[in-house]
Amino acid sequence: MLESQRLNYRNLLSDFFFPSFCVGCCRPGVFLCYSCLQKIHSPKSQTCLYCQGNSYLGITHKNCFKSHCLSGVFSLFNYSGVAAKVLKYAKFKTNKQVLKEGLWASVEPGIWSTMNDYLKVFRFDVITFIPLYKADLSQRSFNQSQELAMSIGSLLNIPVVNFLEKTRTTPKQSSLNFKDRRLNLLNAFSLIKINKKELVRKRILVVDDVVTTGATMSEAGKTLLDGGAREIFGLSLLRA
């Protein structure tokens, strides 16, 4: 009883000194109000990451796959408007709760169903995520891509394994053009010391928060394939 009262008092004090405000319109009370939730949209159709043509479940077209390493990438939301604000708030305010109460809560039934098809059709052996550089992780206190991976792994009972580490700091991808984005991340990832049986011959799902050109996810996928993985797919929270 006393412990319950302590938790209630702590929550009341937290709400008083650090109240929740809607990330979209600053309305007090919640991280994302109902009105702003309606402004978050999922892609009308999934597309091939490399040519942007419509593609069932975001599977990479055969001609595109000849020169790339990802077999497909599925995205939950468009990177625009309120959705972009939510992610930026989570990143720079180090608040992962806004992801759960904001973006997760706004996933439409239709996109949930399609995502479940994507996750079940390919029967992923293991899930991993795009790592942050150590200094960035220390500053931010959490990795939003890891949080998403853990949520998906828990829902589907698929193991989540941290295979990768980022070996150096890099300029922000958003400040670079298409060619420079790929060069920026060249050899930026390496495999951490793991049990090789968890990686070799496995079909792996790589999770990231935002996919634009696919440079980050492609470089991570290449590192995993070089380490012995069988096939690499991607899943992103947002698609720019």
pLDDT in tens, 181-205: 777 778 889 999 877 788 999 999 9
pLDDT at 167: 92
The CA distance from 160 to 102, in Å, is 23
The CA distance from 147 to 13, in Å, is 26
For 176, the domain range is 42-239
The answer to the question of residue 34 being in a domain is no
Q: How far is CA 79 from CA 4, 10, 84, 131, 211, in A?
A: 40, 35, 5, 20, 9
pTM over 0.75: yes
What kind and span of H or E run contains 115?
Answer: helix 109-121
Q: How far is CA 106 from CA 83, 109, 179, in A?
A: 10, 9, 34
Quickly list DSSP for 155-189. Answer: HHT--B---EEE-S----GGGS-HHHHHHHTTT-E
The CA distance from 144 to 129, in Å, is 9
The answer to the question of residue 208 being in a domain is yes
The answer to the question of residue 15 being in a domain is no
Where the chain has pLDDT below 50, the residues are 1-3, 5-18
The answer to the question of residue 104 being in a domain is yes
**Cβ-based neighbour number of residue 191 at 10 Å:** 16
The answer to the question of residue 29 being in a domain is no
The answer to the question of residue 94 being in a domain is yes
The answer to the question of residue 33 being in a domain is no
What is the sign of the dihedral through the CA atoms of 192, 220, 67 and 124? positive
Task: Domain count for the chain, please give it.
Answer: 1
pLDDT at 12: 40
The answer to the question of residue 204 being in a domain is yes
pLDDT at 15: 44
pLDDT at 69: 93
pLDDT at 92: 67
CATH no. for residue 68? Answer: 3.40.50
Phi and psi (nearest 5°) for 40? -95, 125
